[in-house]
Structure 1
Amino acid sequence: MVVLKKILDFYINSSLHVALSAFALVSMTQFFSNIDGGLSVAFFAFFGTVVGYNFVKYDALARLNKNKIKKELKGIVLISFLSSIACFYFFLQLSWVTQTSAFVFLGLTLLYTLPFFPNKQNARNWKGVKIYIVGITWVGVTVLLPLQEAHVAFSYDVFLMSIQRFLLVFSLVLVFEIVDIKFDDPHLQTVPQKIGVKLTKKLGYILLLLLLALEFFYTNNHHFLPLFFKFIVCGTIAIFLFFANENRSRYYASFWLESVPILWWLVLVVF
């Protein structure tokens, strides 16, 4: 069990799990949009997420137990290095338009991590901004890039899909913020820090209901399958929201919650 726990911890800490969620969401976008964008953009999202998240997390890792860092950091650096090579390879497979958009979202990641102005904090530490940058970046990588790579023009339906994905990611991050409320710097002004846990959960429920309601406004008459799957996903996230509290283990959000898009994708693959 100890060995399995170490493997699981490394899998989570090296951002492979969240990267698999990104791969799954890109695949969902392609499936529900009836496009064959190939695997290049999905693998680019996967490896790019590994590199981006590990890059962002280095600062946080530095504040963890030093012995733990020594054991894990070499492996994480190796995975990040190999992922950067793979990310660059799949980046070259994309069209120049998609590549240009990818640079924009890379800029958001850097803005989130690095201070661009002297004596200023990075965007990660700006009050209340973190959740919006995360949401916009995930919309760009998992919705706009695959559609752009498939030469799908921006339309009303694409706008609706982007809003739905933002609401989905926003709701997921709310669970993380509730679980991490004891550890987050009060200066961050996360949603539960500003309005409390109870109101944060109510906000999450409203956003999930709005996500489902938007399904009825598509102009291409979405079929039952997308609504059914989104209902399952929203219901699952609502359950996670309901049981979320500051005493939950790190696996509650970092593993189980982030497994929701993966399970959604696997069900479609199987059936």
Structure 2
Amino acid sequence: MKLLKQLLDFYLNCSIHVALSCYTLVRITFHMFHIQYDEPMALFAFFGTIVGYNFVKYDALVRVKKYPISNSLKGIALLSLVSFVLVGYYFFQLKRITQIVAFGILAITVLYTLPFFPNRRNARNWTGVKIYMVAICWVGATLVLPLINAGISFSLDFFIKCIQRFILFFVMILIFEILDLANDDPYLQTVPQKIGVKRTKILGLLLLIPFCLLELSLSIFTLTNFFINIIIITMLSLFIVFANVNRSKYYTSVWVESVPIFWWLMIFTFLKA
């Protein structure tokens, strides 16, 4: 059991799980807009997530806090290096316009991590901004980039899906913020810090209503996708209701981040049925 826990922790700490969530969301975008599987785009998102998340998580530990480099960190660094090489490989297979937009998302990630001015906080620590920056980056990586690379024009369906995807990430981040309430710097002014846990949960549940209703206005609406959305909303609702500061880190890092994976598996299952 100890070995399994160590393997699970390494899998999570390497950001492979969150990268898999990003990959499945790109695949969901392919499905929704009838895009043929685009391997460079999907794997660029997968390996890019590993590089981006590991940079955000471990830059401060190594660069600022001078955290001792353990064997686990060395393994994470090696995986990140390999992923960085693969990101470069797939990046040059994307269209020029996709590359430009990807640079924009990269710039937000770097801004989120590194302070650009002496004695100033990075964007990650800007009051009340974190949740919006993270949600925008995810929308860009999992929805905007795949459509641009496929040459699909920005229709009404695209903008509706952007709103839906933003709501999805916003709600998921709210769950993280509830669990991190005891450890977050009060300066961050996260949503639970500003309005309390109870109101944060109510906000999350209310946001899932437009997420569901917007699906009905799509020209690409199907009953199968709507049914799957209902299941996703139910899952997220339960995660919100039962979220609290005493929950294990696995509550979010495993289960909440698995929501996109379950979503894709349901789409795959129903399509094959």
TM-score relative to the length of structure 1: 0.95
* Cα distance between partner residues in 2 of 1:243 and 1:110: 33
Q: Which residue of 1 aligns with 2:21?
A: 21
* Cα distance between partner residues in 2 of 1:187 and 1:214: 34
Q: Which amino acid aligns with 1:223?
A: T
CA-to-aligned-CA distance 1:97-138 (integer Å, 9 cap, x gap): 111110010011011001112322110000010000000000
Matched residue SS, 1:117: coil
Q: Which residue of 2 aligns with 1:76?
A: 76
Aligned 8 A contact 1:37 1:147 in 2? no
Aligned pairs (5 A) from 1:83-94: 83-94=83-94
How many residues are aligned here?
269
Q: Which residue of 1 aligns with 2:196?
A: 196
Aligned pairs (5 A) from 1:26-175: 26-59=26-59, 61=61, 70-175=70-175
Aligned 8 A contact 1:160 1:214 in 2? yes
Give identity over the alignment, percent.
52
Change (3 A) 1:6 1:143: same
Aligned 8 A contact 1:139 1:165 in 2? yes
* Cα distance between partner residues in 2 of 1:269 and 1:92: 29
Q: Which residue of 2 aligns with 1:230?
A: 229
* Cα distance between partner residues in 2 of 1:204 and 1:253: 15
**How big is the shift at 1:225?**
1.5
CA-to-aligned-CA distance 1:162-215 (integer Å, 9 cap, x gap): 010000000000000001111111111110011000000000001111100111
* Cα distance between partner residues in 2 of 1:25 and 1:55: 21
**How big is the shift at 1:31?**
0.3
Change (3 A) 1:263 1:221: closer
Q: Which residue of 1 aligns with 2:250?
A: 251
* Cα distance between partner residues in 1 of 2:84 and 2:66: 26
Aligned 8 A contact 1:37 1:150 in 2? no
* Cα distance between partner residues in 2 of 1:123 and 1:65: 21
* Cα distance between partner residues in 2 of 1:117 and 1:96: 31
RMSD: 1.6
**How big is the shift at 1:154?**
1.0
**How big is the shift at 1:71?**
3.0
Aligned 8 A contact 2:205 2:237 in 1? yes
**How big is the shift at 1:60?**
5.6
Matched residue SS, 2:81: helix
* Cα distance between partner residues in 2 of 1:163 and 1:48: 23
Aligned 8 A contact 1:17 1:258 in 2? yes
Matched residue SS, 2:70: helix
Q: Which amino acid aligns with 2:5?
A: K
Matched residue SS, 2:92: helix
Extract unaligned runs of 5+ from structure 1: none
* Cα distance between partner residues in 1 of 2:37 and 2:258: 23
Aligned 8 A contact 2:157 2:220 in 1? no
In the alignment, structure 1 residue 212 sits paired with structure 2 residue 199: no
* Cα distance between partner residues in 2 of 1:38 and 1:221: 20
Aligned 8 A contact 1:37 1:149 in 2? no
Change (3 A) 1:64 1:24: farther
* Cα distance between partner residues in 2 of 1:104 and 1:135: 14
**How big is the shift at 1:221?**
4.6
Q: Which amino acid aligns with 2:110?
A: L
* Cα distance between partner residues in 2 of 1:71 and 1:174: 33
* Cα distance between partner residues in 2 of 1:131 and 1:37: 30
Change (3 A) 1:65 1:250: farther
* Cα distance between partner residues in 2 of 1:59 and 1:140: 23
